Amino acid sequence: MSRFAAPIAEQVWDMKYRFKEADGSPVDRSVEDSWRRIARSLATVEQDADHWEEVFYGALEDFKFLPAGRITAGAGTERKVTLFNCFVMGTVPDSMAGIFDMLKEAALTMQQGGGIGYDFSTIRPRGADVKGVAADASGPLSFMDVWDAMCRTIMSAGSRRGAMMATMRCDHPDVEKFIEAKSDPARLRMFNMSVLVTDPFMEAVKADGPWELVFDGKVYQTLPARELWNKIMQATYDYAEPGVIFIDRINQANNLAYCETIAATNPCGEQPLPPYGACLLGSINLARLVAQPFQEGAKLDLAELDRLVRTAVRMMDNTVDASGFPLEAQAREAEAKRRIGLGVTGLADALLMVGQRYGSDEAAAQTEEWLRQIARSAYLASVDLAKEKGAFPLFDRDKYLASGTMQAMDEDVRAAVAEHGIRNALLTSIAPTGTISLYAGNVSSGIEPVFAYEYTRKVLQKDGSRTEEKVVDYAVQMWKDVKGDEPLPDYFVNAQTLAPADHVKMQAAAQKWVDSSISKTINCPEDIDFEAFKDVYMQAYETGCKGCTTYRPNDVTGSVLSVEDKKEEAKPEMPEEGGEVVYMAEPLDRPQALEGNTYKLKWPDSEHAIYITINDVVIGGHRRPFEVFINSKNMEHYAWTVALTRMISAVFRRGGDVSFVVEELKAVFDPRGGAWIKGKYIPSILAAIGGVIETHLIATGFMESEGLGLKTDPAANVVGLDTGAGGTSQNRGKACPSCGQYSLAMIEGCMTCTSCGHSKCG
């Protein structure tokens, strides 16, 4: 009998976490094999490895403890990948040589699968003097463009591109340019962006006072604080970025304030980290720990919760020793502080199972109490580990007890730390769990509300056909199993119907007992008033949150979840209107004559040019690519140009959104080095070919512009969302870059596909 609660869970396991050979043949024959692989790997650092392997297996079994994706996919595979999810890179020097040293470190980290964060506040503003070269500085935004291009090139471990977070202080002279950067739809697509907001700035906003933009002691500009605040708010209202990080609060609450200063976070914001800081993640699945769900007396099993948390802490502490690191500086930082980020998933489902409405005062109080229990168990487990294995190397008893979360910790916990020390400097964090939540049976992710009670998912089969399957929320399915056809009670709410203030209330309740931070998205209705929108951020600040991320669906950002469009509109019979996407069961027959273009590509240091011919077919009045021919007189190129010709042409003839071919080719880098062509760095000859194809697709109207994919959305029936009220949203967002389905959701600050589990943040 399958351990998976839903077909989507098994599919996510197979795609993301199942250990396979390079040729795709599975090593993990079952999910039990995956659990055994992880348990055995994390037990190898123990003296009694056999005993702890069984204990760890028991925690993993039935998806009770969910190590983050890097651990689940990488532990025990002996592949050169890091098991850490989160990295903040070193402080960016304000020099050309130092900046490009940092770029190299970022590339090495992303190659191994780590998401990275950077504070770009250390780079002098645009127009500032550059001493010794009689020139003006280009500013941090220009270097962020270089990082963005690098991220597009590097394929991270597990076939995911890396994710990046960029931060900038609210008093940097280029902060206004930083705020406006995402208004350009083609710029900085690989970055999440957040402004580091200080307490003095927030006080100036409330007092309507002046605010100085300063670098290296020089005041570049003075403006009203509210004016700058409104610019931040308007940008995130329109484009969902930048987010806001309350950086002073983060540093004040940090257990390690005595030995580190934080200025950046990982891509989803739940891990504020110092330079070269690293953190691994894992989540307790609360939905699996409710006894007698939806019945009288339903409650979370606190004894089981305590046992599970203690085991999870030990597993994560072992991961610090079992993991590799892209950089030696990251390894030293992790070993010195042994930071871990244990969090939860399935919170909203667990609340439903005990009869509480997410966002209510009762649910907020219950959330605070559950997370307090987790914090207590985690800290006491870490004290026990300190007795056995020693405290983290930078532990200073008096300073540690006087800082951060420890000041609010229960007295018995403080006394235990004072007597024995503690193994891990920080222990708790709420991470994005979109993919592992699907893997666990579509439980609600992190501390988010239930996203949708059920929706229809289209699954691509091996023969190219698509089948439909219904994906049901874990708690909703359990309700049906217990109550049959009985209607859902009024306390069932979801992300589409929840008031923004209720989101903030839940985030603030959770933050009280989380020593790092929380990845959470506050969904706002499209028609929310701008002043009410600003109030969401002020509420987050006033109630103790460490940051705030919102998502308001609009024409720029797309909808929260795309749905089937019931209205079919006639398409104009004009090729220049854009490339209609045609989903075909079999390839089209080749017409006798096709219209096309031939492009000459001259690669530096190559004796012969490459000629690329792209022929198009017109279907329904719309022009779309049909075949490619790549030719060169250089015989060293013969085999791969023929292979590329055949493969790309086969993809084009199958139809669909084939713009991913461009992105895949452009992401290929040559370890021997790329070349500069027309003032732009191209990482490989294959990337150059991808650029030629992209140019053609833009010229023919199939793609809108560089990196933006289709100019016209497919008129295909895709995901249908049951809103719980008999209606559906009519907004359609962007297609998933992995599976092509219109199923992207902004979940915990990261675009996540509800069809295949693809996440921008990994």
Q: Which residues are catalytic?
A: 266, 268, 270
Tokens 């983290």 found at = 392
Give the C-alpha separation, 563 to 716, whole Å.
11
- Sheet with 595-601, edge to edge strand ranges: 595-601, 610-619, 622-632
Number of Cβ within a 10 Å radius of residue 588: 14
- Burial (CB < 10 A; 0-12, 13-18, 19+), residue 677, is middle
One-letter-per-residue 3-state SS of 118-155: EEHHHCCCCCCEECCCCEECCCHHHHHHHHHHHHHHCE
Q: Token pair of 654, please? A: 């199958």
Three-class SS of 239-260: HCCCEEEEHHHHHHHCCCCCCC
Q: Which residue has the tokens 């295949």?
A: 756
Which pairs count as long-range contacts for 356-359, CB under 8 Å and 24+ apart, including other chains?
A: 356/491, 357/490, 357/491, 357/492, 357/493, 358/449, 358/450, 358/493, 358/498, 358/502, 358/506, 359/449, 359/493, 359/498, 359/499, 359/502, 359/503, 359/505, 359/506
Between strands 264-265 and 243-246, the pairing is unpaired
List alpha helices for 402-433, DSSP H. 411-420
CA 289 from chain centre, in angstroms, equals 26
Query: Is 432:549 a contact under the CB 8 Å cutoff?
Result: no
Nearest residue to 614 via CA among 603, 605, 601, 602: 601
- C-alpha–C-alpha distance, residues 205 and 210, integer Å: 8
Look at the chain and count its residues: 762
Look-up of token digits 């999870």: 312
- What count of other Cβ atoms lies within 10 Å of the Cβ of residue 640? 13
Contact at 8 Å (CB) between 298 and 291? yes
